[in-house]
């Protein structure tokens, strides 16, 4: 939740307020219209609002907007396609939790697209919203990068299933694309964990606790974005709505499986990371123990010997041993013996 959230407090519900950072100079609208037999593509700019048509039946119409800061435009589109004000509010609010809402004449889905920035080892998020009716779909992205390029290519090729279906299948295909990208992020996270584990087993140093900490926060963040999607998918699966064709259910069920698999993987990573944290701490304890043992062995051997040396360094006038001929060598022998027996004792106690 960003600091921007609070500027909305107190506004009436349904107020369309952009709460993110503006990532795009000018809103880019890509238009596609297709059916089984033909396909037409266009790039609209945000002046040509007049070019928005109400949905028609013989085509599927897909308006893909990149950039969310122009809330007036979003409200305009909303009017043309009869989108509920609460859905419009959610489109512009980039701090939205993933959700699916069913309205009269349309289904609204909001979720997060993820990508991994390999230089900073951070996960970048982008909000993606879909609103679709029988024969139209509106998609909203925060960013200029084209998440849906591959879907567009499949539409152009035109030999697949996708051209024969309605907007519901298109919505599924777009969601599937977003979820497919999760796997890439998960792979990267897994690799990061494996690197930490390798570091930990070979040479555990100070930097590891920071890395574990950062990755943990990262996992928490990703979990927050993916977790609620399970609910979204099962809501989608149970949608009894004439916008949704019967034969799409296996696909949605498959999508749900992928989402569950992602969440499972995340939970698994968290458990593994906890294991690494424990391992790191016991590593620390163990090392400390070793250090203490060496100190103890050295100190406890030499402290009595030093005492003995100090004893015969005293300047008393009458210390008979000082004048015996071999007492120095006898004392050296005693010292060696003491050292030897103490070493054996510690050895037996397994202290080094």
Give DSSP secondary structure letters for 174-239.
Answer: HHHHHHHHHHHHHHHHHHHHHHHHHHHHH---THHHHHHHHHHHHHHHHHHHHHHHHHHHHHHHT-
Q: Which residue has tokens 């015996």?
A: 324
Residues 6+ apart with CB under 8 A from 148: 64, 139, 174, 177
Residues 110/175, Cβ–Cβ less than 8 Å: no
- Residue from 198, 309, 336, 337 touching its own copies (CB under 8 A): that is 309
Assess 53 for contact with its own copies (CB under 8 A): no
β-strand 60-66 against 136-141: which pairing, if any? parallel
Closer to its own copies by Cβ: residue 135 or 262:
262
Q: Which is nearer to its own copies, 28 or 261 (CB)?
A: 261
Binding of its own copies by 295 (CB under 8 A): yes
Q: How many alpha carbons fall within 13 Å on the CB side of residue 175?
A: 32
Which residue number, 176 or 199, has a Cβ lying nearer to its own copies? Answer: 176
By the rule CB under 8 A, 213 interacts with its own copies? yes
Out of 304, 333, 337, 347, which residue is the one contacting its own copies (CB under 8 A)? 304
Q: Which of these segments, 49-57, 69-77, 176-184, 234-242, binds its own copies (CB under 8 A)?
A: 176-184
258 burial via Cβ count (<10 Å: 0-12, 13-18, 19+) = middle
Provide the terminal-to-terminal Cα distance of the chain, rounded to the nearest Å: 52
Binding to its own copies, residues 218-277 (CB under 8 A):
220, 224, 228, 250-251, 253-254, 257, 260-261, 264-265, 268, 271-272, 275, 277
Tokens encoding 346 = 């510690």
- For its own copies, the binding residue among 44, 80, 305, 338 (CB under 8 A) is 305
Instruction: Kindly identify the residues of this chain, within the stretch 72-91, that bind its own copies according to CB under 8 A.
Output: 84, 86
Does position 124 interact with its own copies (CB under 8 A)? The reply is no
Q: Which is nearer to its own copies, 1 or 47 (CB)?
A: 1
Cβ 222 to its own copies, closest distance in Å?
Answer: 12
Output 51 or 118, the one with its CB closest to its own copies: 118
């Amino acid at each position: 939740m960003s600091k921007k959230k609070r500027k909305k407090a107190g506004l009436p519900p349904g107020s369309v307020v952009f709460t993110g950072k503006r990532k795009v100079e000018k809103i880019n609208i890509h238009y596609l219209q297709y059916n089984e037999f033909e396909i037409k593509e266009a790039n609209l700019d945000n002046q040509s609002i007049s070019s928005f048509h109400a949905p028609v039946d013989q085509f599927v119409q897909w308006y893909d907007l990149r950039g969310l800061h122009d809330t007036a435009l979003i409200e305009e589109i909303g009017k043309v396609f009869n989108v509920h004000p609460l859905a419009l509010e959610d489109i512009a609010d980039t701090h939205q939790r993933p959700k699916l809402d069913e309205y009269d004449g349309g289904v609204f889905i909001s979720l997060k697209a993820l990508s991994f920035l390999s230089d900073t080892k951070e996960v970048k998020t982008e909000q993606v919203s879909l609103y679709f009716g029988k024969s139209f779909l509106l998609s909203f992205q925060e960013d200029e990068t084209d998440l849906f390029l591959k879907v567009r290519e499949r539409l152009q090729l035109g030999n697949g299933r996708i051209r024969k279906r309605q907007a519901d299948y298109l919505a599924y295909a777009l969601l599937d694309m977003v979820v497919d990208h999760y796997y890439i992020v998960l792979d990267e996270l897994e690799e990061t964990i494996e690197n930490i584990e390798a570091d930990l087993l070979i040479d555990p140093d100070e930097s590891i606790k920071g890395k574990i900490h950062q990755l943990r926060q990262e996992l928490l963040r990703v979990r927050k974005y993916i977790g609620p999607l399970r609910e979204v998918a099962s809501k989608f699966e149970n949608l009894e709505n004439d916008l949704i064709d019967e034969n799409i259910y296996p696909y949605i069920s498959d999508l749900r499986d992928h989402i569950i698999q992602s969440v499972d993987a995340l939970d698994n990573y968290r458990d593994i990371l906890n294991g690494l944290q424990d391992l790191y701490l016991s590593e620390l304890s163990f090392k400390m123990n070793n250090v203490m043992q060496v100190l103890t062995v050295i100190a406890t051997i030499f402290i009595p010997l030093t005492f003995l040396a100090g004893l015969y360094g005293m300047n008393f006038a009458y210390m008979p041993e000082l004048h015996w001929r071999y007492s120095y060598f006898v004392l050296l022998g005693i010292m060696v013996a003491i050292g030897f027996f103490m070493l054996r004792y510690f050895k037996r106690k397994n202290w080094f």
